[in-house]
Chains A and B, each alone.
Chain A
Amino acid sequence: MAEIGMAWTARGAWTGIAAAGAFGTPHDGVRVQLREGLGIASLIAGQEQEPALERALDSRYGLSLPRGPSAVSSASHTLLWSGPGQWLLLAASSAGFAEDCAGLAGLAAVAEQSDGRAVLSLSGAMVRQTLAKGCMVDLHPRAFPVGTTALTSIAYVNIQLWRAEDGPEGAVYEIMVPRSMAGSFWSWFSASAAEFGCAITVSRD
């Protein structure tokens, strides 16, 4: 008898923390896109499972299983290395993602994390200078080319970072933060980006 008729609306990980707009000096040195509504799942495969998993991911999404710290993307999905024998599967939309996960169930330990992560897309002329204020990983293009990912921490928040295809203003970095710490992460980010000026947009599905 669940017809008490309450609408179960999902709340985005950035809701109440950041919204479209701008802050800091009027330069837009940094651009942020708050990425809501992604499908995210962790896949852990034992050695014996890897070949089958690799075939499945290739046939379904045309993605090959990264064996080192890199990210591969199709139009709809991204596959991130997230530790030895572990990956994160990202879908641009959470719609139908449950089926994605179900389909891989036998091939790896699958655990959905769509609601457990808050994701940002960062770009702009000063994006590297901003990240340098907390990121302990070398992001120089020689050291961190397109398609590289890193698990690290920023301001005591464990994050996963990866470099997507370049945008109009050059490098684009995606950052994934634990949902419960999105607010603290944002506090660091806004303090760090303010001197360059920052414009915020939101993307849903």
Chain B
Amino acid sequence: MRIACPHCGSRDVQEFAYLGDAAPRRPDGMEATAAAMVDYVHQRDNPAGSHRELWYHAAGCHAWLVVTRDTRTHAIDAVETMAQARAGASA
């Protein structure tokens, strides 16, 4: 598997560390509820199909990236920096 790091270029998956689904947003602040936090920490869609997920270029530029990958075929549609991902989300 290859991941096209927006900073470094196409690299072997061996250089990256995986975290998981990029969708959950941490409920920040003192007013966050336990229920919301339980959901953020534990519950996952785990789709068979397109999945936006967090990877860390551990052996490269140390950037966290959002990779859009099909979990049935491993085909990668997009690799975004966190900034790009946020811009996309807000857009």
Contact B7 A84 (CB under 8 A): yes
Whether, in the assembled complex, A181 has its beta carbon less than 8 Å from a beta carbon of chain B, the answer is no
Whether, in the assembled complex, B59 has its beta carbon less than 8 Å from a beta carbon of chain A, the answer is yes
User: How many angstroms from the CA of A158 to the CA of B58 in the assembled complex?
Assistant: 9
**B61 touches which of A136, A137, A151, A153 (Cβ 8 Å):** A151
User: How many angstroms from the CA of A86 to the CA of B11 in the assembled complex?
Assistant: 19
**B8 touches which of A69, A86, A153, A158 (Cβ 8 Å):** A69
Q: A84-B61, A84-B63 are in contact. Are A150 and B8 (CB under 8 A)?
A: yes
Contact B14 A136 (CB under 8 A): yes
Chain A CB within 10 A, most for which of B14, B60, B63: B60
Contact A136 B15 (CB under 8 A): yes
**A69 touches which of B7, B12, B15, B81 (Cβ 8 Å):** B7
Contact residues on A (Cβ < 8 Å of other chain), bracket: 10 to 19
Whether, in the assembled complex, B74 has its beta carbon less than 8 Å from a beta carbon of chain A, the answer is no
Residues facing A in B1-59 (CB within 8 A) are 7-9, 11-12, 14-15, 58-59
Whether, in the assembled complex, B62 has its beta carbon less than 8 Å from a beta carbon of chain A, the answer is yes
Contact A158 B7 (CB under 8 A): no
Contacts of A136 in B (CB 8 A): 11-12, 14-15
Contacts of A51 in B (CB 8 A): none
Contacts of B11 in A (CB 8 A): 136-137, 152
Contacts of B12 in A (CB 8 A): 136
CB 8 Å contact bits of A58-96 with B (1 = contact, 0 = none): 000000000011000000000000111010000000000
Contacts of B58 in A (CB 8 A): 158
Q: A69-B7, A69-B8, A136-B12 are in contact. Are A151 and B63 (CB under 8 A)?
A: no
User: How many angstroms from the CA of A166 to the CA of B91 in the assembled complex?
Assistant: 46
Nearest-neighbor residue (CB-CB) of A136 within chain B = B12
Q: A84-B81, A152-B15, A153-B15 are in contact. Are A69 and B9 (CB under 8 A)?
A: yes
Please list the residues of chain A having a beta carbon within 8 angstroms of any beta carbon in chain B: 68-69, 82-84, 86, 136-137, 150-153, 158
List 21 contacting pairs A-B, 8 Å CB cutoff, sorted by A: A69-B7, A69-B9, A69-B61, A82-B61, A83-B63, A84-B7, A84-B81, A86-B62, A136-B11, A136-B12, A136-B14, A150-B60, A151-B8, A151-B60, A151-B61, A152-B11, A152-B15, A152-B59, A152-B60, A153-B15, A153-B59
Beyond A69-B9, A153-B15, 13 extra complex contacts between A and B, CB < 8 Å: A69-B7, A84-B7, A84-B61, A136-B15, A150-B60, A151-B59, A151-B60, A151-B61, A152-B11, A152-B15, A152-B59, A152-B60, A158-B58
